[in-house]
Structure formats: structure tokens, C-alpha cells
Chains A and B, each alone.
Chain A
Amino acid sequence: MSTTTATPAPATEMDRWPEKHYWNATKGLKSWLFTVDHKRIGMMYLISILTAFFLGGVFAILVRTELLTPGETIVGAKTYNQLFTLHGAVMVFLFLVPSIPAAIGNFVLPMQLGAKDVAFPKLNLLSLWVYWLGSAFAIYSLFAGAVDTGWTFYTPYSLQTDTAVVSMVFAAFILGFSSILTGLNFIVSIHKLRAPGMTWFRMPLLLWALYATSVIQLLATPVLAITLLLIAAERIFGVGIFDPALGGDPVLYQHFFWFYSHPAVYIMVVPAFGVISELVATFTRRPIFGYRFVALSSLAIAFIGFFVWGHHMFVAGQSEYAGMVFSFLSFFIAIPTAVKIFNWTATLFKGSNWLASPMIYAIIFLVQFTIGGLTGLFLGALSTDVHFHDTYFVVAHFHYVMMGGTVFAFIGGLHYWWPKMTGRMYNEKLAKVAALILAVGFNMTFFTQFILGTRGMPRRYYNYLPEYGFLHGFSSIGSYILAAGFVLIAFYLVQSLISGAKAGANPWGASTLEWKTPSPPPTENFPDTPHVQTGPYVYAEEGLDASRRAA
């Protein structure tokens, strides 16, 4: 990999605040609702998923508050069960799945490709509308007797409960189509819209990650759709698929569900890997070490991710030998993941390491996600998983991956591309403080839960034995600190919109194409089509010699 891309215009002119940009190109609500500009769609997605994140966060705080004491603290058992279900369903289907691809990806992907837009701009808008329709169903289900099944909708419980399973299932069904449309659009865009000269191995690593993610979205999501339809058919028409009382098999449901939902874990985390690669490259001023390994490991994870779903079911009654195969394959996921962590670490070697706020989020990601990954080993191994399955150990593990990993990468990415999206900087000091508050709150909340888990505390418990009281209380206090960190972020980001300093085209001195156009960018991104002659991460301006570029 190596150097310089043709710069479309001289830096000085590009750093000026553009008169016309995508925010003010056209006016009025209608111009947004019917826009086909990927940047506007990305911003609307961003606002939507942040709203979902807020909603899911409120549910989480209510859950943690209820758990301050055993028995009733603020709500009854049924309400508690609805709260943790809604927390999970909203966070997974409305926030995590679309978070990085649909919000950041929609905004950044065409620009990193050097393209004017995604391949199918109208399909892109449709994906957003479908997302809103799905969200409307999800919100309707809150008022129609909020579901209490857990986000996993396990049968036969989900066939028997009197809560609004059908409307929430339809919400997830519809949201799946939004995900499929985005995935399809990204795959075609990456194949067809790369700037002249941008070969596959000259693509920024975020694009590799989004490509791998899109493949999973396209192949796995339909299985979820079918499964959810079968649940609805069983509830509405009494067709016996999963309910043993009707001759069905509840474990079949688990196979179907995890056939989507395990790959879906990678839909949620692989884009985060892409963001981290961008952040690490920019703030070390270095190409990512082992670029090809990092790029291809995303595809390897996506591929192997399809064959490990059974590790959610080691004690579900499947055969021991099925458990053996799924355990064995699960361990293989550890290797490409470890390869990524090692390569990011190696990129810091002799880098020009700059601890700007997005990089602080990336470092916290590395520290926390590594814990998330390593604790997966206990769950991949059969005999230890039997003890940990459905305890707080699992809760802690996936929050380290999903929150300590994906959410921190997402927030880091948001800080990184914020100047490009809005044209403005935020208060850098507050951003660093917020990152540390989040890290302290996060680890207090969730590290505690590993110990709850090893000690045997089951998940989805409204009530608990007094011996778990201290750890639960400590975890809940951590969650309040975490919430305070998010409030601080909301504060300075809003402040930045009102009075933030103007960012200029490339405040971080980054090397990928999205920084080679004014901030905020014009409607079709680039004044002239960029031409690419080198790899994505080239930092000649740091005074590095030419030999390095040829690497």
C-alpha cells in the first residue's frame, strides 16, 4: 500500500466554509423526507438511531434501578420483564444493527469510495422509510401490551404470553428489510462505484468491514424474517411449528433464531472493526499494519459466523456431538478477531500517536473489546459454558462486545466524522472527560456482572438472593455514571452545532477521500471525481520519506 490520492482542490480553498452544502442545498421538511442524498439519509438515520439509543438506555436504567434491591424496588415482575425485553429489542433491532452501517456508513461509504452517492439512492431512502415503519410498529407494541419474552422471543413462551408479541415481531420483520436494502446497496456500491484507480486493496478498511457486514445482512436476515413470520402464523392461525402442544418443536425455533442472530452479532460488531481501523490509521499517521490480514479477517469472521449458531444451545437439548462441532467452529472465530487486535496494536509501533478524542475512544475500545473477546472463550468451551449459560456472565460478555466494543467504536466514529457531517468541532476537553466517565461507568456496571455470573446469578431475574445484593447495587451505580457520560456527550455535541468552531476540510489530517472535500460536503460530494493511485493510508505531510510510501 502507499501514497497520495489526487487532491481535487488546493487545501486553503477547501477549508473555507462552503456556501452551498448538503444541509442548505434545498430547503424544507419535504426536501429532507424525499431526499436521495446519502448524507441526508445518513443524518436522518443518525438522529433516528440516537433516539432509539436514548429509549433503550432509559429502559436499561429502569432495569438497573429495579435491581438495586431484591424484590420490588420500583416496578412489579411483569413490568420488569417488559423492560428488559424492550431494552434488548430496541437496542438490537433499532440501534445496534443499523448504527454504524446505516448512520455512519451511509454518510461515509460513498465518500470513501470517491462516489457521488450510493448505487441506488432511492432504495436507500426506502430503507430509511422502512426503518421508520418498523420503528412505528415497535413503538405501537409498547402501548399494545409491551412484550415480555426477552428479545429472543423463545417459543413456546412467546406463543403463550398475552403481551404484544405479534406487533413487536412484525417490527423486527420490517426492520430486517431496511437492513437488507442497506446491505444490498453497499455491496453494489463497493463493486461498481469505486473511484478510478481504487482497487479492492486500496479501499479503506471501513469499506471492507461494511462489505463483509452487508453480505451477512443479505444472507442471514431473510432467515429471521421467515422465523418471525412463522411465530406470527403460529400465534394468529395456530399453525403448529414450534409449540409442542400443536406438534411443533421449540428447539427448532432456537436454531432458526440463532441462525440469524449469531451472524447478526457480527452485523453489529464488524462495522465497529472498520471504524477502529480508520481511527487507528488516522491518529497514528500510519497504514494499518497487515492491511490485507485485517481486510480479509472481516470476511473470514462473516463466513465462519454462519456456522457457529449452535453455541447458544449447548444445554438446549441438542445432541452432544452437535455441541462439539459448534464449539470447535466457534473457537475459529477467535483467530481472525485476535489477528485484528494484534494488527491494530502493531500499527501503534513507531506511529505518530495522537490522543485526540476519537482515538481515546478507539483505545478504550481495544481495552474493553479484548475483554469481550477473551471472555467468549469461556462460553465457546463446552463444559464451562454449561455453568455460564444464561447467567450474568453472558450478559457481561455481550455488553463488553456490544457496548464496550460497538458502542464505543460508534461514539468514537461519531466524534471522528462529526466535523465532516456538521462542519463544526466540539469541545475536545469535554469529549475526553466524557470518554473517561463512560469507561469508568461501563466497567463498573459490567465487569461486576462477570462475577455475578461466575457465582451463578441467572439472567432475566426480577428477584435475586440476598448474597448477590452488593454486586447488583455496585453494577447499578455504575450504570448511572455511564448515563451521566452520555448526557455530557449530548450536551457538548448540541453546543457544537450552535457555537462550535468551523472544522475545515480535514481537521484530523486524515488521508481517506471523505476528507478531500469541504465540510460539510456539497450535495454530490466532490467538485471533481477523485483519482486514486495509492492505498488509503498515506501520510506524506508528516515528513516521512518516500521509501515508506512504497511499502
Chain B
Amino acid sequence: MPTNDSILFPPQASTYAADVDALYYFIHYVAIFFWVLIVATIFYFLWRYRRGHKEGVGPTHSLPLELTWSIIPLILVIAMFFWGFRGFMVLSRAPGDAEEIHVTAKKWLWNFEYPNGQQAIGELHVEVNKPYKLIMTSEDVIHSFYVPSFRNKMDVLPGRITTFWFEATMTGEHQVFCTEYCGDGHSDMLAKVVVHTPEDYQRWLEESQVEDTTTPLPELGERIFAGKGVCHTCHSTDGSTKVGPTFKGLFGRQEQLADGSTVTVDEEYIRESILQPGAKVVQGFAPTMPTYQGQLTDREVAGLIEYIKTLQ
């Protein structure tokens, strides 16, 4: 994990983070200066001119003073404006050679698609010191892609494309938050940007393209549950109800469906629910689950089924 934390900020892990922080500290010190000046003056006057003092009365207006305390702040805020605008243009405009990655947001997960067609949920693997441009859209409501350690954020809208570019300067995992309120799973709509050295990135690329055939199925399923599948956002394993039904004791259970019929949860029902979530929705739950068709391999689906069987 990156370690150059300060008290106020997460690490600066992108090319433009230092400039954002520098403007922050400029405003910070200007603000502290004026706040201390005002508060100290107020308390001094309160004490010095407390009731009963014999110092006479002061003036009731002064044009020079009004102009002074209008113009000095005006100059300072115009400086802040220009600095902020210049930084914003850097944040907004991707360099031409940036590698493009398509991002799809939906309740409540992030899907990343690489130029070679490879897809990943919840994890964006990139190389350090290389610009990337995310081409983002949403399948349902507005979301927002925010990486605090990059100091950048952009809303992700349905029916429209927005972009987010970055060049990471620090290897390791960087937290991604959804920062546009999007419903029950909003605060669990997380992801990671995993920044690799070029060598590690190559290794990751090769490994990720080889299907995992050695991990035992239940273990593979557990990994998908908490990782790639982000199932844990909506399904618990301890019996508590989240957005979807709990997985605890699910296998073999009789479920009442929204259309009034009942179904016994078996391997086929789980497989169908993963690939066509809208087909048989359990009563009392909204049909919000996205399909995993094309996102999970057959072996991974089998892994999830075996994992759910272990949760009795």
C-alpha cells in the first residue's frame, strides 16, 4: 500500500494530484490567515471595548477601509480561480496517447473492459506511469467514479459518455468510490485501481488470460463472491437480509417467487439466477440484479454454486 499519507489527504498517486494539493494548501493558509485575523480582532474588541469603557466612540464608516477589504480578497479569489481552472483543464483533458478502457457502471458494481475484450468487475489493473482514459457510461442511474488518491472524480451518466483520465505514479491498490448516490448498495459500490510495474502488469495479463483450473470449486466460488463477482454487496452469508436474499442456508431452500409460485433452490436455479437474474425473482426483493452472462466462466459459476452449498 502507498505510504506517503498526510493527516489531511490520502497519498498523491497521480501526475496531477500534487497541483490540486498545492492549490488546496494555498487556499488553506489564506483562509487560516483571515480567520485568525477576524476572530482575534473580534475577541480583542470584545474585551478592550467591553461595556463601561471610557474610550469614546469610533467612526461609523470608512470608504478606504471598505475598498481595502473588498479589493484584497478580490485579488486573492481571482488567483484561486485561475489556479483552479488551470488544474481543472489538466484533470479534464486526456493526453492523446492514453490507453482507452471502457467502464460501465450499474447498481452496484463497476465493470472494466480492456481493448482486447477482456472484462473485469471491481478491479482495474493498469501500469504505473502510463496514461489511461476511461470511457464511462451507466446502465441505470447516475454514478460517479472517484479515486481519492488520484484527486479526480467524474459522474457516470446513463445515455451519455463521460471520460476520466489518469496517469498513476504509485504502484499498489487505490480505492475507488461511487460518489453519486445510487440507492441501497451505494456505499458498497467500491472498486480498486491496481497499479502495477510494467513487469507485474505483464504477469497479471498472462495470468488473467489463463483460466484457473486448479483451485477447488468452493474456494474459487468464495473468491468470486467477495472479489470479481462483488456478490457480497447485495447478498450476506450470515443470514442477514441485504438488497438480495442471504446465501446462508439458500441451497435446498423453498423460495416463494414474485409471481406466487415456489421453487426449490438447486444447482440449475442458482445458475439461472446468476445468468438471467430477472427470470425468477424471490418475493419481496426488487429485480435489480445485473446479469453475469459473459462475465463469469462456466467453471466460476460452478464454483459459486459449490460455495453456496457450503453455507448451511
> Chain A residues in contact with chain B, CB under 8 A?
1, 72, 76-78, 81, 148-150, 154, 156-157, 160-162, 244-245, 250-251, 284, 286-287, 289-293, 314-317, 320, 323-324, 327-328, 331-332, 334-335, 338-339, 341-343, 345-346, 348-355, 363, 366-367, 370-371, 374-375, 377-378, 380-387, 389-391, 451, 454-456, 458-465, 544, 548, 551
Contacts and interface: CB of A to CB of B under 8 A. Distances in A.
Contact of A381 (B27, B159, B160): B27
Interface size class of B (residues with CB under 8 A): 35 or more
Nearest to A288: B60
5 contacts: A350-B49, A352-B51, A374-B34, A383-B16, A544-B57
A465 B188 CA distance: 10
Contact of B84 (A287, A385, A389, A548): A385
A338 B93 CA distance: 34
Given A77-B184, A381-B83, 11 more contacts: A77-B242, A244-B159, A290-B62, A343-B66, A348-B41, A348-B42, A353-B46, A371-B35, A383-B87, A454-B8, A465-B175
B286 interface: yes
A342 B67 CA distance: 11
A461 B187 contact: yes
Give the most central of A292, A382, A385: most B CB within 10 Å: A382
A173 to B, nearest CB: 22
B142 A352 contact: no
Contacts of A458: 146, 177-179, 187
A290 B42 contact: no
B4 to A, nearest CB: 14
A338 B87 contact: no
Q: Which 4 pairs, one residue from A and one from B, show the smallest C-beta to C-beta distance?
A: A456-B148, A244-B159, A383-B87, A381-B84
A527 to B, nearest CB: 31
Interface stretch (B18-26, B199-207, B260-268): B18-26
A315 B155 contact: yes
Contact of B184 (A81, A154, A339, A355): A81
A291 B20 contact: no
B179 A389 contact: yes
B60 A160 contact: no
Interface string B52-66: 110111111110011
A89 to B, nearest CB: 14
Nearest to B162: A317
Nearest to B73: A338
Contact of B151 (A1, A150, A386): A386
Contacts of B242: 76-77
Nearest to A343: B66
Given A316-B155, A352-B52, A353-B49, A386 B88 contact: yes
A465 B20 CA distance: 24
B186 A250 contact: no
B66 A290 contact: yes
B32 to A, nearest CB: 8
B20 A383 contact: yes
B240 A72 contact: yes
A290 B66 CA distance: 8
A446 to B, nearest CB: 15
Contacts of A342: 38, 65, 69
A286 B42 contact: no
Contacts of B41: 345, 348
Contacts of B188: 463
Interface in B158-201: 158-160, 162, 175, 177-188
B46 A348 contact: yes
B94 interface: no
A328 B81 contact: yes
Given A77-B185, A456-B10, A349 B45 contact: yes
B87 A382 contact: yes
A327 B70 contact: no
A156 B141 contact: yes
Given A157-B183, A463-B188, A387 B20 contact: yes
B186 to A, nearest CB: 6
B91 A454 contact: no
B84 to A, nearest CB: 3
Contacts of B20: 383-384, 386-387
Contacts of B34: 338, 370, 374
A343 B45 CA distance: 13
B159 A315 contact: no
A331 B24 contact: no
B92 interface: yes
Nearest to A292: B61
A384 B84 contact: yes
A370 B157 CA distance: 36
Given A334-B77, A338-B69, A366 B61 contact: no
B78 interface: yes
A148 B158 contact: no
Contacts of B16: 383
Contacts of B27: 377-378, 381, 384
B111 interface: no
A460 B52 CA distance: 51
A370 B179 contact: no
A261 B51 CA distance: 42
Contacts of B292: none
Interface string B215-226: 000000000000
A72 B236 CA distance: 12
B161 to A, nearest CB: 9
A335 B74 contact: yes
